Chain A
Amino acid sequence: MNKKLKLSTLALGAALAAGPAMAELVFPSLSYRTGPYAANGIPFADGYADYFTLLNERDGGIGGEPIRMIECETGYNTEKGVECYESTKGEGSLVYQPLSTGITYQLIPKVEADGIPMHSMGYGRTSAKDGAVFNNIFNYPANYWDGASVAIKHLLDVNGGSLEGKKIALVYHNSAYGKEPIRTLEELSKKHGFELSLLPIDHPGQEQKSQWLQIRREKPDNVIMYGWGVMNQVAVQEAANIRYPMDQFIGIWWSGSENDVRPAGDAADGYKALTFHNVGSDFPVFDDIQKFVVDAGKAAGAGDQIGTALYNRGLYAAMLAAEAAKTAQGIHDTKALTPAQMRDGMEALEITEAKMADLGLPNFGPEFKVSCENHGGNGLVAVAQWDAAADSWNLITDYVEADEEVLAPLIEEDAAAYAAEAGITPGC
């Protein structure tokens, strides 16, 4: 045992001694290309990597400073996530985007202690929106509770403004992620008078027969799904099997990729999913990606995910990180950034239509502005619908604002609970 330990410590020591050159902007990518969540992890990781490759190839990095992206496989597993965090944080990592609510919860106290910002875009701990408590955590432009609220708003629209007496079922991944919206939906059910039933599905989510049998029996008017990975495909297929009307089935943005609906074929037609950015590849930036990344043979992964919903989300995440880095470079008048400067950049980030058009992403996402009090953006969410014949997602609504009247007190309560637990004095 000892000999083995020593040998590997030597090997490790050599690996660590190879050390970073500090004149780079380091963006770690905690991705997962293996395991039951790979179907969703791969497109996101590809989008994230390709945007940074594009910036390096086309603009020579951000503000002239080259970008170095370190990819680390987490397999959506918290232990590996911790290992990835510890092994990359010494390299000068600017911002963490773990793409896992479990890992986000794990890292929140660690990044706060180490002073590295973390951006959990549309996932993670919802109350991180309260920047007075969560100094280093950002979850703009939208969070889980915004999603739940907008889903209910959409149902209100469809049902002529009233959900009185309706039955809504929540099918959720039985984890921190899936449990997040329950509190919000319970509040909303009190407000709008619908009946909420909860159907948890255990990791990894291939076993859902009994839940869908229950749906078949209870016949809820609508089903909302908070699923991820292989669970999504199975749920859409099961819904198709019991002939549940697809247009009454709404997924959160993590249950709305092509990989989730394609396996069910035409039966998935009409399935709805929320999104906080636009879909498709009809944007000027994709021409640049084709030219500088794909044609140069530098595309990440197999290069077959370009323009899919989750690829776009990875790209959007990278774009927001790059814009925050630009903002930080402006604020601190420096090219090389420290994590603390990056944090300031994220807190001062403002995304406007003009800025997005300038980046080749016109009308790609909602406008928002981050501030110290609000790390979560405006919570603007749209609904997309799957068109199986055309094999594409289409936005069917505008970006709708979440019901802040219900959400604000919940966020305040949860953030205050965290502050008390962790001994933080909130302040801006």
Chain B
Amino acid sequence: MFYREAGDFSTSYAEDSQTFPIKFDRYRYYLVLFLAIFVVPFMVNDYWVNSLFLPFLIYAIAAIGLNILVGYCGQVSLGTGGFMAVGAYACYKLMTSFPDVSMLIHVLIAGVITAAVGVLFGLPSLRIKGFYLAVATLAAQFFLVWLFNRVPWFYNYSASGQISAPERTFLGFNITGANTQAWATYLFCLMFVIFSAYVARNLTRGSVGRKWMAIRDMDIAAEIIGVNPLRAKLTAFAVSSFFIGISGALFFSIYLGAVEVGEVFGIQKSFLVLFMIIIGGLGSIFGSFAGAAFLVLLPVALKIVGVDWLGWPTDIVAHLQLVIVGGLIIVFLIAEPHGLAQLWRVAKEKLRLWPFPH
């Protein structure tokens, strides 16, 4: 009834090709942005930000990055944790080497450095694909973690081998370190999320994204119609790693504050982000958000229901969570391989016809 194209006329090409062609969608999008920027920051406290919003926002960036590579370009990667580590360590080295520079610049440069590393490890994708590429990126994962553990220069020769974020600012507000305001760290991450989602959405709609999808769907056919696989694959690796690097930098500097590479950026992290895009939906920006929200909120919600309300032992709840996440992944792979994003798409399709389906 409200959700329909009828009566919504486009009078220019720009209007015709906008991201949300349906008026209702568009206003919903503006409303979400408004709430996220102008309402949430006034309502959050430390708990909300550190336990829910920061991990959700940061994982969403990582999921967008990985979705570009896996969902749009079809190059399976298990190196997410390693690339996040590159972002984190690049950010750490920059923060400690140039203390007076704004955090915004550090995080962006950390993304660029990760993009370069990503391209390097993307080179094998020109020769191999599928499982073999997954194994090659797995090597990147283990190599990078080993490197950051092994070479003391990366962690500034600290005794523990940990990196910890010193206090740094953005526009005069403390963004990292212990004395931060919940709303400031939230807004800082939100800014990167909006930027990443905006860039990713528009890249995937344009010619670059179409080339990625052509490679994904059939690389030989894509080559025949004039897509350069070298450029398409390497740009996918670069853009994907750029976002993953940003998320790694934020993950370390803003969310955790201190990081031990083997524990935080291990292989589990690669799988977690991969699960996010599988559950959320491959090849969908909305799916990246949905998957990240799902896997960040589910453990917290389970803990609150199981431990705080029902009073179950903590270990039972922790084990139950593994069972539920594992079960859900299987259910999604069988029942809805396109993830939450497909459910959303189907719902929208139904809404258009509602209340008069054929």
Interface residues of A (CB under 8 A from B): 1-2, 4-5, 8-9, 11-12, 15-16, 18, 31, 33-34, 38, 71-73, 75, 77-80, 82-83, 86-87, 89-90, 101-102, 105-106, 108-110, 112-113, 125, 174-176, 179-180, 182-183, 200, 202-203, 414, 421-423
Contact = CB atoms under 8 A, between A and B. Distances in A.
A273 B301 CA distance: 41
A242 B343 CA distance: 57
Contact of B314 (A71, A89, A125, A183): A71
B314 A113 contact: no
A80 B293 CA distance: 16
B318 A34 contact: yes
B192 interface: no
Which range holds the interface residue count of chain B?
35 or more
Nearest to A180: B160
Contacts, number: 128
A12 B298 CA distance: 12
B301 A109 contact: no
Contacts of B179: 113
B162 A105 contact: yes
Given A79-B55, A109-B178, A179-B159, A33 B258 contact: no
B266 A105 contact: no
B315 A34 contact: yes
B178 A110 contact: yes
Interface string B299-323: 1110111011100011101110000
B277 to A, nearest CB: 14
Nearest to B35: A2
Nearest to A105: B258
Interface stretch (B44-52, B72-80, B127-135, B218-226): B44-52
Interface string B249-270: 0000001111110111010000
Interface of chain B, helix or strand or loop or mixed? helix
Contacts of B258: 78, 102, 105-106, 108-109
A61 B55 CA distance: 38
Interface of B: 32, 46-48, 50-52, 55, 149, 159-162, 164, 166-167, 177-179, 255-260, 262-264, 266, 286, 289-290, 293-294, 297, 299-301, 303-305, 307-309, 313-315, 317-319
B318 A33 contact: yes
20 contacts: A2-B32, A8-B297, A12-B48, A12-B301, A15-B309, A31-B314, A34-B315, A73-B303, A73-B317, A77-B263, A78-B258, A78-B263, A86-B51, A102-B263, A105-B164, A109-B177, A174-B149, A175-B260, A179-B161, A182-B159
Contacts of B48: 9, 12
B160 A33 contact: no
B263 A175 contact: yes
Between A1, A31, A90, the greatest number of chain B beta carbons within 10 A of the residue's beta carbon is seen for A1
B266 A203 contact: yes
Contacts of A176: 160-162, 260
